[in-house]
Amino acid sequence: MPKNLTVRLDDELAADTEALARAEGQSLNETVKLALREAVERRQKDPAFRRRIRQIIDEDRELLERLAK
């Protein structure tokens, strides 16, 4: 199910993003979605990021197990 998201950009970033979308011949929405997708993929490949995520998962598991007692 699609999720609407409001993002506040400063004027310069908004103008740059709009120019990029025009240059690529795509909508502003598609340009932002692609940028986010690429950012997520970069982080998923980053070993340090993966370690931080694993740590968060472990901490959350411990918390949930304590709450479930």
pTM: 0.75
- What pLDDT score does 15 carry? 98
- What pLDDT score does 41 carry? 97
Question: HEC states along 27-68?
Answer: CHHHHHHHHHHHHHHHHHCCHHHHHHHHHHHHHHHHHHHHHC
- Summarised one tens digit per residue, pLDDT across range 2-40 is 899 999 999 999 999 999 999 999 999 999 999 999 999
- What pLDDT score does 50 carry? 96
- Summarised one tens digit per residue, pLDDT across range 38-61 is 999 999 999 999 999 999 999 999
